[in-house]
Amino acid sequence: MLICPICHTDLNLQGKTYTCQNRHSYDISKDGYVNLHVVQHKNSHSAGDTPTSVQARRRFLAGGFYEPLRDRVGQIIDELAPTSVLDIGCGEGYYTARMTHSAQVIGLDIAKTAIMTASKTYKNTDIGKHITWVVGTGAVLPVADECVDICTSLFSPLPKAEMLRVLKPNGYLLVATPAPMHLYAMREKLFDTVNPHNPAKFIAELSPEFTFVHEWQIDADLCLDSQSLNDLIEMTPYTYKAKLERKTALKAQDKFDVRASFCVYLFKRA
């Protein structure tokens, strides 16, 4: 399923190295991932989430706070029974690991730190045997044409043209995004004005190439201790947008209750 990010020909795995017909080669790291994010596609030295954000998200998700979303995503994919899944913007692999019941999965993220964390976490596990971890960009997916049954993008960009290219003719796209009132109580503490999220915009943006199939809303009431609250702030874009004094005040709380609310959309390639 992987292709060379330079010449776009098929990659073949020989031992611990992927090689294309033009002799471009990419080694599997000791942690078990392959880096297909070539310099030609880089806009910065360290793209994607910061190491601090990655580790904060890893700790927070390990607490099970977003498990209802993870379970729903896994159930949807199980019911579709794909043989191949591409998880775009997979991060440290929390959701990706739930996609492997019936499929071979590629977990792809532009952040090398995130992929390193994912590959280390699931190395030498039964789940890890079904996942290929790739450092790469969604803007130029290192994936062959029409070879993927389902693309997933959970809180990640939606490279529409590239997803259409790699999906099979009857392939699906599964999107998870914040619902209008997601983390509203937390956002009230961080910002002077809080605007509801607009998840439905994706339906219009993906049309007409993708046909809307179904929508789910998943809610989870969270009771956070100080560490979990700090991690939640650090793993979201709010940490960059909020004023320091507001973040400091919120992080000082020993306990905080907030509702997480997600919209999950299923689309089919038209």
Q: Which residues are annotated as a binding site for Zn(2+)?
A: 4, 7, 20, 24
Q: Any idea of the CA torsion for 61, 177, 241, 188, to the nearest 10 degrees?
A: -90
User: How many angstroms separate the Cα of 25 from the Cα of each of 11, 107, 134, 187, 188?
Assistant: 8, 20, 14, 46, 50
List the binding residues for S-adenosyl-L-methionine: 66, 92-93, 182
Nearest Cα residue to 105 out of 123, 120, 121, 93 = 93
Going through the chain in order, the beta strands assigned E by DSSP cover 12-14, 17-19, 25-27, 33-35, 84-88, 104-109, 131-135, 148-154, 167-178, 210-225, 255-269
Nearest Cα residue to 96 out of 104, 112, 88, 107 = 107
List the binding residues: 4, 7, 20, 24, 66, 92-93, 182
**How many Å separate Cα 1 from the centre of its chain?**
19
Asked if residues 177 and 199 have their Cβ atoms less than 8 Å apart, the reply is yes
